[in-house]
Chains A and B, each alone.
Chain A
């Protein structure tokens, strides 16, 4: 269950993954990386049965400091991940769906089936909007929502709240 704090388990795992990725940035050849990754795993496994939380937290702190000292200044980032070379590269080509309404009638006439179906979808959206808002108002706790996750549709024949934004989102790689 997601809460405001990280558990000790989550922190240790995050440190482990970070360290592995940075070892991968330092050790370029795969076999050498595998060797040092195994050594790291052995170091983590040695202490995994520690029951004393104070000692475990102190070991985690020492591990984080060692990570900070040995981290790679330019860690390997996948191109599509934040900070990578092609992250957000295609944002400028993502056009919102309401631009379709701005088309000239002669252009819309080139795709009659699509625009006819689009009218039906828009009618559906108008119909289900009040019910979606009602569902969200009912389900949100008094002091604000706990997370960004939207609830699914609860009743038979209803659509999940804010489904229009999800259905009409842009492609990951625009054409």
Chain B
């Protein structure tokens, strides 16, 4: 059985890498890279179901150590893959979502002359992500981590003729780099203190250590990669890339890499209260802040991006609650409905000739019924509608939050963020799908292309049944608390319904438009993203440049010039000028000075 499992898993790798190798061929005439990639990913998905079934049936988990890469007498770096509960569930889900997204991209990017290169980048990203997820040691994880970061840069800046796209790509790379500092610090700490980068060895050896430093490093890494508050502006800016990129990278797979890292190394965090509280509070703050920002955005992709950021904050909260499995469940369900929301928005954008502003969309329910239905299903799943995918993970998280002993501040923030989720989801659906059209009626909008409809349909099935399937088949590792007061049990649902009612009332008020502008300070705070990017993107470079300037003038320039020639010359000049100015052509002054200097010269002789 283990042989079947391990061979199928390695087969997945080879199937995914094969299209990349065909791009090395110098004769690229007639190569159908795009179609081949889609077939490769779909076949890899079906093959990956086999180890998943074996795991379901027999609970086999495996570690394959393939190659001893850089081994010295004291330190080992191997290539080893770990196939446990987390990676065995995540790989099929990632492959399924990627399959749908690639099929969608065949339609979305069909007029792009470099579509093969686009698919190559997406496939490289997928391979890096799978390396990250199946890594058994920190070095391999780091390879995957950097890989997804670089592919994110290349894909966000796909339309590199656009200045904003290049800025956004650079922003993504720089913010991720700041997070990477944390990861590298953690790896260095492990190498120094535990003498290993293998995960099993780290877990065994770390029992008696004070793990605050590496855990803070890991938290910083997750803040950078998963866009927590403080290092979050890159995620909405990353919407400059094409929609398939946003769907794959910045909703389902890359941004969960940080959370996945924390889930993998969770046994280290269980006993460290500081790390847990940091994750909890940071996650709650992120969740509320980004949900607030999403309330007044007008670009459809930015709203979904902020929604992703908010859900990532929720996942961070779950980690802080010592429930890694729930966080992982939320990762899996979130991948489905978030990718579906992005694909639906891509379909809408393409049909409306690149119109992304929801102020110029409307009434799409009559014109694009399938897309708007799937869009609504995705939004319902996002808000945690009972028995869709999001419900199983979100409701469980909120229940765990309500029944654990922790600070009420994080709890309040998370509940408010949950209600905001309902608000902006309803706002999105109201402006995009309902009402009357506000766009030009010229373009022929249709949904006839099977590439689009089949891919979104597959994700819709996933959004509906994935939560049920995963929870029915996998027992929780930590016993959830089953008894709680009815209010706490219904808290998530009540808060969501309250948000929905508020949103409906606000939409009603918008449709009446009693005055032109709303309450300006609140709206501007939310719309300008809390002024965070506006301040930080100007303040930090200014501080650094001022530091550089002061170092260059006060230190370098002083030592090189002012201490020696220029300073001396300046002093001489000043003294000469003073002496000169005292006695400008006045005979009496000349004679006085002459007398004074004479006395000064004769005085030592006299004495």
Let me know if A92 and B354 touch, CB within 8 A.
Answer: no
Give chain B nearest CB distance to A169 CB in angstroms.
15
The complex places the Cα of A87 from the Cα of B356 at a distance, in Å, of: 12
With beta carbons under 8 angstroms apart, the residue of A28, A72, A74 that contacts B297 is A74
On chain A, the residues within 8 Å of B162 by CB distance are 87-89, 91-92
The residue in A35, A36, A72 that gathers the most chain B C-beta atoms within 10 A of its C-beta is A72
What is the chain B residue whose CB lies nearest that of A33? B513
A76 touches B360 (CB 8 A): yes
Whether a CB of chain A sits under 8 angstroms from the CB of B299 is yes
User: Which residues on the B side are within 8 Å of A57 (C-beta)?
Assistant: none
Residue in A23, A74, A90 whose beta carbon sits within 8 Å of that of B161 in the complex: A90
Contacting pair A88 B163 (CB below 8 A): yes
**Cβ of A74: which chain B residues have Cβ within 8 Å of it?**
297-299, 527
Q: Mark A87-107, 1 if CB is under 8 A from B, else 0.
A: 111111110000000000000
Within 8 A of B (CB), among A81-138: 85-94
Q: Which residues on the B side are within 8 Å of A91 (C-beta)? A: 159, 161-162
User: Per a CB cutoff under 8 Å, which of B159, B353, B438, B523 touches A89?
Assistant: B159
**Inter-chain contacts of B520 with A (CB < 8 A):** 69-70
| A2, CB-defined interface residue at 8 Å | no
Contacts of B111 in A (CB 8 A): 175
Known: A36-B516, A76-B360. A29 touches B161 (CB 8 A): no
| B159 pairs with A92, CB closer than 8 A | yes
Chain A, residues 18-51, CB within 8 Å of chain B (1/0): the string is 0000011111111010011000000000000000
B357 at the interface (CB under 8 A from A): yes
Interface size, B (range): 20 to 34
Q: Is B511 in contact with chain A by the CB < 8 A criterion?
A: yes
Interface centre among B297, B298, B516, B518 (most CB of A within 10 A): B516
- Which B144-169 residues sit within 8 Å CB-CB of chain A? 159-163, 165
Bound together, the chains give a CA A91 to CA B353 distance in angstroms of: 18
Are B161 and A94 touching (Cβ within 8 A)?
yes
Complexed CA–CA distance, A80 and B353 (Å): 10
**A88 pairs with B161, CB closer than 8 A:** yes
**With the chains together, A86 CA to B527 CA distance in Å?**
21
Contacts of B72-120 to chain A: CB distance below 8 A: 111, 113
Which one of B159, B359, B510, B528 contacts A90 once the chains associate, using CB atoms below 8 Å? B159
A26's partner among B163, B297, B512, B516 (CB-CB below 8 A) is: B516
From A35, A36, A73, A79, B524 is in contact (CB under 8 Å) with A73
**Most chain-A CB neighbours within 10 Å: which of B113, B517, B523?**
B517
Instruction: Select which of A28, A29, A79, A92 is within 8 A of B356 by beta carbon.
Output: A79
Rounded to whole Å, the gap between the CB of A77 and the closest CB of chain B is: 8
- Please tell me if B431 contacts chain A, counting CB pairs below 8 Å: yes
Chain A residues with Cβ below 8 Å from B438 are 28-30
Query: How long is the Cα–Cα vector from A79 to B355 in the complex, in angstroms?
Result: 6
Which of A30, A69, A76, A89 sits near B357, CB closer than 8 Å?
A: A76
Q: Which chain A positions have C-beta within 8 A of B359?
A: 24-25, 28, 76
A26 & B517 in contact (Cβ 8 Å cutoff): yes
Residues of A within 8 A of B516 (CB): 23, 26-27, 36, 70
A69, chain B: closest CB distance, angstroms:
8
One digit per residue, 1 when the CB lies within 8 angstroms of any chain B CB and 0 when it does not, for chain A 149-175 equals 000000000000000000000000001
Residues of B within 8 A of A73 (CB): 523-524, 527-528
A31 to chain B, nearest CB (A): 9
Contact A86 B354 (CB under 8 A): yes
B517 near A92 with CB under 8 A, answer no
Interface residues of B in 352-373 (CB under 8 A from A): 353-357, 359-360
* Nearest-neighbor residue (CB-CB) of A85 within chain B: B356
**Chain B CB within 10 Å, residue with most, of A76, A85, A86, A94:** A85
The answer to whether B113 and A93 have CB atoms under 8 Å apart is yes
Q: In the assembled complex, which residues on chain A have CB atoms less than 8 Å from the CB atom of B518?
A: 26
Q: State in angstroms the CA–CA spacing of A81 and B100 once bound together.
A: 32
Taking a contact as CB atoms under 8 Å apart, the answer to whether B517 and A28 are in contact is: no
Closest B residue by C-beta to A24: B359
Contact code string B531-564 (vs A, CB < 8 Å = 1, else 0): 0000000000000000000000000000000000
Interchain CA distance A28-B516 in the complex, whole Å: 10
Contact B510 A29 (CB under 8 A): yes
Cβ contacts under 8 Å, A88 to chain B: 159, 161-163
Interface string of B497-520 (1 = CB under 8 A from A): 000000000000011110011101
* B residues near A27, Cβ cutoff 8 Å: 513, 516
Closest-CB distance, B101 to chain A (whole angstroms): 20
Q: Write out the residue numbers on chain A whose beta carbons fall within 8 Å of the beta carbon of B512.
A: 32
Chain B residues lying within 8 Å of A80, measured Cβ to Cβ, are 354
Q: How far is the CA of A92 from the CA of B163 in the complex (A)?
A: 11
**In the complex, what residues of A have CB within 8 A of residue B298's CB?**
25, 74, 76
Contact flag A70-B357 (CB < 8 Å), given A28-B510, A89-B159, A175-B113? no
Query: Once bound together, how far apart are the Cα atoms of A36 and B513, in whole Å?
Result: 10
Which B residues are CB-close (under 8 A) to A77?
357
- Contact in complex: B299, A92 (CB < 8 Å): no
Chain A residues with Cβ under 8 A from B435's Cβ?
A: 29
Which residue of chain A has its CB nearest to the CB of B357? A76
Report how far A134 CA is from B533 CA in the complex, Å: 52
Q: How far is the CA of A89 from the CA of B354 in the complex (A)?
A: 11
CA distance A92 to B162 in the complex (A): 8
Residues of A within 8 A of B159 (CB): 88-92
Return chain A residues, CB-CB under 8 Å to B299. 74, 85
- Given A26-B517, A70-B517, 11 new contacts (CB under 8 A): A26-B516, A29-B438, A32-B513, A79-B355, A79-B356, A85-B356, A86-B354, A87-B162, A88-B162, A92-B160, A92-B161
25 contacts between A and B (CB under 8 A): A25-B359, A29-B438, A36-B516, A70-B517, A73-B527, A73-B528, A74-B298, A74-B527, A80-B354, A85-B354, A88-B159, A88-B163, A89-B159, A89-B161, A89-B162, A90-B159, A90-B161, A91-B159, A91-B161, A91-B162, A92-B161, A93-B113, A93-B161, A94-B161, A175-B111
User: What 8 A-B pairs come out closest when comparing CB atoms?
Assistant: A91-B161, A92-B161, A32-B513, A86-B354, A88-B162, A79-B354, A89-B159, A73-B527
